[in-house]
Amino acid sequence: MNLPNKLTMLRIILVPVFVVFVSMTGSPACQWAALGIFVAASFTDMLDGRIARAQHLITDFGKFMDPIADKLLVMSALIMLVDRHGDADSLGSGMPAWVCIVMLSREFIVSGFRLVASTKGKVIAAGIWGKLKTVTQMVYIPMALLIIPMYNIDLDVHAYWKLITTVMMYVSMALTVWSGFWYIWQNREYLKDM
């Protein structure tokens, strides 16, 4: 297994560790730890892609597993944020369930579409809109994770941070929907036999 694929696997291994820390909403220290783990795991996503391209280590395993590792990390975070919605300890850092459902639905639809394409011998890599979607999600999630620690720093900053985080959540949701539509539209030839 080459280095980029090892980094992908590391990202998958970090997911349950992240979930344990993020679930401890009553502890700002655990939220800082969850943030650090999420950022480190996100960094492996950027790093594995750069190494794979620079050293010509792109493999079908990497094309397939890298998006799955991203989805595991992001889906776990989104679900944990829904779990916080309405939890008094979370200080409003949660996500409405319907937003999470929209985001997760897109991931399942695109993953299913990829599976259909793979049965026809085609591995479809992520496009620019999918990458932008991932970037906005990986910016929104740390912002949401910071809401609890921000409360202990300054209440005014906390209020502004919650507002900016909410805006970022809806931007991310919009890009999630658009990127899913664009992905299927760009690869619609694989729907012909359905």
Q: What is the 3-state secondary structure (H, E, C) of 49-108?
A: HHHHHHCCCCCHHHHHHHHHHHHHHHHHHHHHHHHHCCCHHHCCCCCCHHHHHHHHHHHH
Question: What was the pLDDT predicted at 37?
Answer: 95
Q: Looking at domain 3-191, what is its CATH homologous superfamily?
A: CDP-alcohol phosphotransferase transmembrane (TM) domain (1.20.120.1760)
The residues spanned by each domain of the chain are 3-191
Q: Residue 188's pLDDT is what?
A: 78
pLDDT of residue 158: 76
Supply the pLDDT for residue 194.
57
**SS3 of residue 176 by DSSP:** helix
> Do the beta carbons of residue 134 and residue 74 sit within 8 Å?
yes
User: What is the pLDDT tens value at each position of the chain, 194 positions in all?
Assistant: 888 889 999 999 999 999 999 988 778 889 899 999 999 998 988 888 888 888 888 887 887 788 789 889 989 999 998 877 665 455 566 788 999 999 999 988 888 887 777 777 776 767 788 889 888 998 999 998 888 777 767 777 778 888 899 999 999 999 999 999 998 888 777 777 65
Cα 162 from Cα 146, distance rounded (Å): 9
Instruction: Report the alpha-carbon distance of residue 166 to residue 110 in Å, rounded.
Output: 25
Contacts of 164 (CB under 8 A, 6+ apart): 143
What is the structure's pLDDT at 161?
86
Which pTM does this prediction carry?
0.82
The one-letter code for the residue type at 67 is: P
Instruction: Report how far residue 27's alpha carbon sits from residue 45's, in angstroms, rounded to the nearest whole number.
Output: 27
Question: Which pair of tokens denotes residue 100?
Answer: 């999470």
Spatial neighbors of 56 by CB under 8 A, at least 6 apart, are: none
Neighbours of 156 (CB within 10 A): 8
